[in-house]
Amino acid sequence: MLWVPLVWTAVEFLRSQGALGFPWALLGATQHRAAPVIQVASLGGVYAVSFLVALVNAALYVILTRRAVLLPAAGAGVVLAAALVYGLNVLRHPVPATFTAAVVQPGFPVRAQLDPGLARRRFEDLGQLTQKAAARGAAL
């Protein structure tokens, strides 16, 4: 049963990579209103949330179709309970009322973004812009 969430999460991660990869329509994003659940994103990003959702759904499928399988249900239940306990604990700690955020954009034309030869330069430009923003007080 564990292979379902592993494969699902791997596919989501892989389709988000590369020049044309974007993290759109990810399973983890469906939980944006479930604050305790999405706190696991601090451990593994949206992919950790996707894994958790896929795991719970795979366990429900096994329970409903095989009825006699207790171990997968118990395992998924333990993982879900641990995620909820972690999330509720994180939410109990106060968060600063405000913080400074910055958005950096190097301004490369679209064609230059697809040129693998310019990847290092784009990365360096983003790093410099990020360092300048942090020096001006950006926390995110």
| Secondary structure string (H, E, C) spanning 15-73 | HCCCCCCCCCCCHHHHHCCCHHHHCCHHHHHHHHHHHHHHHHHHHHHHHHHHCCCCHHH
Q: Residue written as tokens 């998924």?
A: 76
pLDDT value at residue 18: 80
Strand, coil or helix: 109: coil
Locate 102 and state its tokens: 């910055």
Task: Determine contact, residues 23/16, Cβ cutoff 8 Å.
Answer: yes
Q: Output 100 or 95, whichever has higher pLDDT.
A: 100
User: What phi-psi label fits residue 18: left (phi over 0), alpha (psi between -120 and 50 degrees) or beta?
Assistant: left
User: How does pLDDT run across 63-89, given as a tens digit for each residue?
Assistant: 888 876 778 788 888 999 999 999 999
pLDDT value at residue 46: 96
User: How does pLDDT run across 13-68, given as a tens digit for each residue?
Assistant: 999 988 778 888 999 999 999 999 999 999 999 999 999 999 999 998 888 888 76
pLDDT value at residue 68: 66
pLDDT value at residue 73: 80
Q: How far is CA 116 from the centre of its chain?
A: 26
pLDDT value at residue 106: 82
